[in-house]
Structure 1
Amino acid sequence: MSFVTEDDPFKDPSLDAAPAPQRTTPANVPDTLAVGRNASLTLGTDSLVVLDEALRDTSSAGCCGVSFGRSTKTTRSIAFHNVLWAELADDGDITIQYAHADSKKAVRPAIISYTLDKTESGHASAWIEKLLVRAYGASQRQKRVKVLINPFGGQGTALKTYHKHIAPIFAAARCELEVEQTQHNGHGVEIAQNLDIEKFDVIACCSGDGIPYEVWNGFANRPDAARALVKIALAQLPCGSGNAMSLNFNGTDSPSLAALAVVKGLRTPLDLVSVTQGSKRTLSFLSQSVGIVAECDLATENLRWMGSARFTLGFLTRILRKTAYPADIAVKVEYGDKNAIRELYRAESSKPPRSHDDRTLPAAGTGLPDLKYGTINDPLPDSWELVAHDHLGNFYAGNLAYMSPDANFFPAALPSDGCLDLLRIRADLPRRTSIATLLAIADNKFFDMPHVDYQKVSAYRIIPKNQRDGYISIDGERIPFEPYQAEVHKGLGTVLSKSGHMFEAKGV
């Protein structure tokens, strides 16, 4: 079932279908707007300051609904990041909608409304525009969002979560919404493959990481794949058991906070990875793994009721077994020294937020880029060396930093450096070392461990051996236990993030 929201009579038609313009603060507009004899609204450094003598007469917070007296405060601040919309009605009322923090893990829409002082009516519209410039910066307002809800994912509560925690934030921000529920496995591929990409700015997936994976590959099947992947930003709103995409770009696994992050998100280029196996080519956005991580993900499907804790349990159980997953591996290394990797990360993290997406939109009819290194069926490139790893415990290549709330496996990962971060850990380590490694991953301290091999690579080939069957995971999806090859495409996809160029993760 799908539906489109009703037209918003207050929407500025000049914003229709437009990318985020480079708006500037209106000139000669004072920061303070008088809204009555004893109230005013002031644009502060990073927040809207409401001064209102009437606040003194409101009940102060209490416990269990019991008031402990009257408030002595006459001001309150609303962070610009939380301001969703503002408008001036014909009768002179100014209304501001914002995301009110109910707790550290949840926000909900709230409204303040005042009748303007008559002397302020002349520049009220310009003051509102100044507020919205502060509130949105380089982010596009009133995004046109195709919402995909997976009612089967995680614990099966995505539809309820959307209506309770996500839709109200989008509505308050005046987003244009078209909502559709996925009906079966692979439906996200079909939707993306047939989507009118000129109608939308964002696809927001109320799901785990599975529906984004389907959408990327639906775009990949289009004759205009390159154009679709650049034009439409993909976002995930955490409603599944694996919510890595939201953790990395929204900085949270809270549905309402993620919705706010999407409303304010900046267009961000994201590397995507072509994975070839047999005659098939798929796109990966998250990770590829062989060994412990693949097995603890795919072999714990029966524990989805545990949420993300199932990954931790699976990892701990298997690392203690010291199982080896032998393979022959060849890699195209771009950065093999940990100090160089650390310097690359710190240089990028020191940059300010991006003001705009400077990529050129590919022409209509532009498909996926050619493979620079061929496929798994081609001879190994001359510069690659196939190396035996007979005691491999884990081969894990990540395109993002966080894989779960407590697992920042790739602390040096960057959204668009043209590299995968590659992690290899031996299986024949003392049990004490294996446990210490697991704890260090949770504490973001394992990067410098001598037995942890951490590189940045642009391509690789892996050939499992001495096993009849096993697990290979591509973005959490199981593929045949056969050799495969992966190649990075720099900045091929588009997401929304807070900074425009970094993950919301603690780095090296």
Structure 2
Amino acid sequence: NDHVAKKKLLTNCTFILCKGLHAPMDLVSLSTASGKRFFSFLGFGWGFIADVDIDSEKYRRLGNARFTLGTLQCLVRLRVYQGRLSYLPAATEPGTPRDSKAPTRRAAPTAGTEAPSGHGALPADTLLVPLGQPVPPHWVVVPEEEFVCVYAIYQSHLGTNLLMAPAARLHDGCIHLFYVGAGISRVALLKIFLAMGRGTHLDLNCPHLHCVPVRAFRLEPRGSAGIMTVDGEALACEPVQGQIHGHMCRVVTAS
């Protein structure tokens, strides 16, 4: 993001290309109840953030200011969505942020996040069971069933000025699962997004905000109300689940 913000963007990009700098990046496979499968590089959202993203499309001519306007509008008509959220916790590594407010369970073995060995072969979702079946017993089912926002992100930044997951890396083998429970005030929610610009939103210790590193998740909304997004694109609201796949692609990068 530092390189994107600098005036000498073309010079930076040319240098990176000439040096042949690149790095592996994880992808997340997402499967829906209607049988669709997607590979996502940024994030999956349901609720407040997805509402802001899609509802502000009509203000695209305003540039990044569209998100500010969209956020204020969604705050005024703050919605609550009902559903069930489940996840497979990531194996705890030294330095991995932990959510003291989230339920704790022992994670399963770390198999299942490797890149496919065959060229051109799509990896199997070995951490997931069909959506019609209950999640495995070693998964965590979030006790709350009313949410303002659910967002699974795999990169550090949701946008140029939104450092949502400071600990995220291109190939850390984690989905950083954020969810905001019902009951949060509009003021508290606004404070979270203002702090997100500096990456300090987790320091607020808001009891409604949870962040958990996971390797897979499932979201089962009650009904079809609400907007879902995959990498910023609208998706029909239906049960969906996903898992991380390590080193699925390579990207040109200076870091």
TM bucket, shorter chain: 0.7 to 0.9
CA positional deviation for 1:449: 2.3
Which of 131, 136, 144 is residue 389 of structure 1 equivalent to?
144
Over 3 Å counting, the alpha-carbon distance change for 1:471 and 1:258 in structure 2 is: farther
| Residue 91 (structure 2) pairs with residue 332 (structure 1) | no
CA positional deviation for 1:261: 5.5
- Please show how residues 266-281 of structure 1 align to structure 2 within 5 Å: 266-277=21-32, 278-281=34-37
Residues in 1 aligned to 2:133 and 2:146: alpha-carbon distance in whole angstroms: 27
- Contact conserved, 1:276 with 1:375, CA < 8 A, in 2? no
- Please show how residues 66-465 of structure 1 align to structure 2 within 5 Å: 247=1, 250-252=3-5, 256-257=10-11, 259-260=13-14, 262-263=16-17, 264=19, 266-277=21-32, 278-334=34-90, 340-342=95-97, 362-364=117-119, 366-372=120-126, 373-451=128-206, 452-465=209-222
CA positional deviation for 1:252: 3.6
Which residue number corresponds to residue 492 of structure 1? 248
CA positional deviation for 1:381: 2.0
Which residue number corresponds to residue 188 of structure 1? none
Which residue number corresponds to residue 205 of structure 1? none
Q: Deviations over 1:119-170 (max 9, x none)?
A: xxxxxxxxxxxxxxxxxxxxxxxxxxxxxxxxxxxxxxxxxxxxxxxxxxxx
Q: Which amino acid aligns with 1:302?
A: K
Over 3 Å counting, the alpha-carbon distance change for 1:361 and 1:369 in structure 2 is: closer
Partner SS for 2:13: helix
Unaligned stretches of 5+ residues in structure 1: 1-246, 344-358, 500-508
Q: Deviations over 1:422-449 (max 9, x none)?
A: 1112342233322221211122211222
Which of 221, 233, 254 is residue 477 of structure 1 equivalent to?
233
Residues in 1 aligned to 2:218 and 2:73: alpha-carbon distance in whole angstroms: 28
CA positional deviation for 1:332: 0.6
Over 3 Å counting, the alpha-carbon distance change for 1:384 and 1:301 in structure 2 is: same
Over 3 Å counting, the alpha-carbon distance change for 1:333 and 1:390 in structure 2 is: same
Residues in 1 aligned to 2:141 and 2:23: alpha-carbon distance in whole angstroms: 35
Which residue number corresponds to residue 157 of structure 1? none
Q: Which amino acid aligns with 2:122?
A: L
Partner SS for 2:67: helix
Over 3 Å counting, the alpha-carbon distance change for 1:455 and 1:378 in structure 2 is: same
Q: Deviations over 1:36-80 (max 9, x none)?
A: xxxxxxxxxxxxxxxxxxxxxxxxxxxxxxxxxxxxxxxxxxxxx
CA positional deviation for 1:377: 4.1
Larger relative contact order, structure 1 or 2 (CA cutoff 8 Å, min sep 6): 2
Larger of the two Rg values belongs to structure: 1
Over 3 Å counting, the alpha-carbon distance change for 1:489 and 1:468 in structure 2 is: closer
CA positional deviation for 1:375: 4.1
Residues in 1 aligned to 2:241 and 2:76: alpha-carbon distance in whole angstroms: 29
Q: Deviations over 1:306-365 (max 9, x none)?
A: 22222232223323433212220000111679x94249xxxxxxxxxxxxxxx999554x
Residues in 1 aligned to 2:66 and 2:36: alpha-carbon distance in whole angstroms: 30
RMSD: 2.8
Over 3 Å counting, the alpha-carbon distance change for 1:478 and 1:312 in structure 2 is: same
- Contact conserved, 1:422 with 1:455, CA < 8 A, in 2? yes
TM-score with structure 1 setting the length: 0.42
CA positional deviation for 1:294: 0.6
Q: Deviations over 1:208-260 (max 9, x none)?
A: xxxxxxxxxxxxxxxxxxxxxxxxxxxxxxxxxxxxxxx38x54476525633
- Contact conserved, 1:322 with 1:429, CA < 8 A, in 2? no
Over 3 Å counting, the alpha-carbon distance change for 1:299 and 1:381 in structure 2 is: same
Q: Which amino acid aligns with 1:473?
A: T
Which residue number corresponds to residue 73 of structure 1? none
Unaligned stretches of 5+ residues in structure 2: 99-113
CA positional deviation for 1:280: 1.5
Structure number having the greater helix percentage:
1
Residues in 1 aligned to 2:116 and 2:47: alpha-carbon distance in whole angstroms: 39
- Contact conserved, 2:150 with 2:180, CA < 8 A, in 1? yes
CA positional deviation for 1:394: 1.0
CA positional deviation for 1:390: 3.3
Partner SS for 2:50: helix
Which residue number corresponds to residue 97 of structure 1? none
Residues in 1 aligned to 2:224 and 2:69: alpha-carbon distance in whole angstroms: 25
Over 3 Å counting, the alpha-carbon distance change for 1:279 and 1:319 in structure 2 is: same
- Contact conserved, 2:226 with 2:237, CA < 8 A, in 1? yes
Residues in 1 aligned to 2:187 and 2:169: alpha-carbon distance in whole angstroms: 31
